[in-house]
């Protein structure tokens, strides 16, 4: 069985959320779970990270990790390794000292922006793209020093390119697909992918139907095949060592679709025109290795994409 490195997945963002849903991922999986995005502040993100960590320990099927060695320990014990990410820089409350604060809570990657401009830079849905601000550039440098990966997903094209130009450690696109295969503002250009690879980074392919172009509720297997298409495109474009997976599965998918329906202005027509969003759930993500094997991939190549490449980034970024 291939060990999976899931670089981005989402629980409902409430302190009383049932985190045992994460056990739908197989033992040995590394999980990066979102603990906040643009509407959230330090206090709420802190509450989520601390509460969920305590529940994970009490449950017994998870091991909160602070180092790559902890991930190895989790796998030896047949546990799921648990870390966190921030899907916008709003939770650091404008104070760069909070980057290290969140690293100590288990946050290992962060997006400067989520879809729309903020103090750090621009988002992928902004009509005007001015890239990272001076504050955003300082943020990337602080993240480098603190051991937190800078993530270009949901950022604007120029913001992503600016991250690559500023960082002195590998950056990532934790959950982004390729615009060359499916045109969507959330998908990244070949230029962005090459710049990410130039830092030593990894692009994580996601399983969101509207970013794959396969959003019919009945097309579960087709979504996995579409993920494989993006994996293979990325390997051809930037090399095997720079592609991974970050499915972006939303355990809160009902809440997310309700939010889309009630507040379409917070997103764009490119989110709302497809009907209810569909995702690749954990059970289907674990079939991706078999799809790649059926396409002629050997075990080493499958292992690199399903986990080895993001692990290499962690080795280079985490301190």
Q: Report which of 131, 135, 188 is spatially closest to residue 165, judged by C-alpha positions.
A: 131
Is the pTM above the cut of 0.85?
yes
- Cα within 13 Å of Cα(238), Cβ side: 26
Domain map (residue ranges) of the chain: 5-317
Residue 267: pLDDT above 90? no
**Tokens at 144, concatenated:** 């480098």
Give the mean pLDDT of the chain. Answer: 96
pLDDT in tens, 63-114: 999 999 999 999 999 999 999 999 999 999 999 999 999 999 999 999 999 9
Residue 269's pLDDT band (cuts 50, 70, 90): confident
Residue 198: pLDDT above 90? yes
Determine the pLDDT at residue 159: 98
Q: Which residue has the higher pLDDT, 260 or 150?
A: 150
DSSP string, 22-72: GGGSPTT-EEEEE---TT--HHHHHHHHHHHHHHHHHHSSEEE-SSHHHHH
Determine the pLDDT at residue 254: 87
**Domain boundaries 5-317, corresponding CATH code:** 3.20.20.140
Determine the pLDDT at residue 228: 98
Segment 173-195 mean pLDDT: 98
For residues 172 and 199, the answer to whether their CB atoms sit within 8 Å is: no
Q: Crossing angle, helix 97-104 and helix 42-59, to 10 degrees?
A: 10
Residue 53: pLDDT above 80? yes
Q: Report which of 292, 319, 303, 313 is spatially closest to residue 75, judged by C-alpha positions.
A: 303
Residue 207's pLDDT band (cuts 50, 70, 90): very high
Residue 50: pLDDT above 70? yes
Location of structure tokens 């002629």:
296
Determine the pLDDT at residue 1: 64
The rounded distance, in Å, linking the Cα atoms of 61 and 9 is: 17
Determine the pLDDT at residue 4: 97
Segment 129-141 mean pLDDT: 98
Residue 264: pLDDT above 90? no
Residue 158: pLDDT above 80? yes
């Amino acid at each position: 069985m291939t060990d999976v490195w899931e670089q981005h997945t989402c629980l409902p963002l409430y302190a009383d959320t049932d985190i045992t849903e994460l056990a739908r991922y197989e033992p040995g999986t590394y999980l990066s779970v979102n603990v906040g995005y643009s509407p959230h502040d330090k206090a709420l993100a802190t509450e989520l990270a601390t509460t969920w960590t305590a529940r994970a320990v009490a449950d017994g099927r998870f091991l909160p990790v602070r180092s790559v060695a902890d991930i190895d320990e989790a796998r030896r014990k047949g546990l799921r390794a648990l870390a966190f990410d921030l899907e916008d820089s709003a939770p650091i409350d404008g104070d760069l000292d909070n980057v290290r604060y969140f690293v100590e809570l288990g946050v290992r990657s962060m997006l400067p922006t989520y879809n729309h401009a903020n103090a750090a830079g621009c988002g992928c849905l902004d009509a005007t793209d001015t890239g990272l601000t001076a504050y955003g550039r300082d943020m990337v440098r602080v993240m480098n020093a603190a051991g937190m990966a800078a993530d270009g997903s949901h950022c604007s094209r120029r913001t992503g390119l600016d991250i690559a130009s500023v960082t002195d450690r590998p950056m990532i696109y934790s959950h982004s697909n390729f615009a060359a295969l499916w045109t969507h503002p959330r998908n990244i250009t070949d230029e962005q992918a090459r710049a990410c690879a130039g830092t030593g980074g990894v692009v994580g392919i996601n399983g969101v139907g509207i970013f794959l172009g396969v959003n019919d509720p009945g097309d579960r297997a087709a979504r996995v095949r579409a993920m494989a298409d993006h994996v293979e495109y990325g390997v051809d474009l930037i090399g095997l060592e720079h592609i991974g997976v970050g499915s972006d599965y939303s355990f809160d998918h009902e809440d997310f679709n309700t939010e889309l329906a009630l507040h379409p202005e917070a997103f764009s027509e490119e989110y709302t025109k497809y009907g209810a969003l569909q995702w690749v759930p954990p059970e289907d993500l674990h079939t991706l290795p078999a799809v790649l094997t059926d396409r002629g991939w050997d075990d080493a190549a499958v292992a690199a994409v399903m986990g080895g490449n993001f692990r290499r980034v962690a080795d280079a970024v985490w301190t």
